[in-house]
Amino acid sequence: MSIKNNNTLCERVMRRVYFIWFVKKVVPYFIVEFSLFVGFAYLISKNVFVSNVLQYASQILANNSVNPAVWSAFAWNMFIGTEFIVQLSVLGVLAMIVLLFKNFIISLARITLSNTETNMARQSLHN
């Protein structure tokens, strides 16, 4: 078997190993976090009138206010003026977004590092 065929076989095997690792270690977290995200988003959709929020936001824009302090005050007042379940849902959605991105980035870094280590080991075997 030539070195080229051996490298191709190794690459295919390692892709499968990475895929299996990803499915076993990462996908369950994504499923749980995404399910929680959808649940919190559903609660928000049932308890918040998005059209009213957009109407209030358009009123702020109509006053030519693009000041971040005005928008922060608007967001804070809208948040404080809602029911507890909506506040909990908004915080839950934000937390799930942060966790999804954190887990995605960590998983991507782990796969990249594993791939680099595998390539280095493969090169040392051939040298």
CA dist 9 to 12, 13, 52, Å?
5, 6, 58
Mean pLDDT of 12-25: 81
Can you give the pLDDT at residue 91?
92
pLDDT in tens, 52-102: 878 887 887 777 677 778 888 888 888 898 889 989 998 999 998 898 888
Measured CA to CA, the distance from residue 40 to residue 27 in angstroms comes to: 20
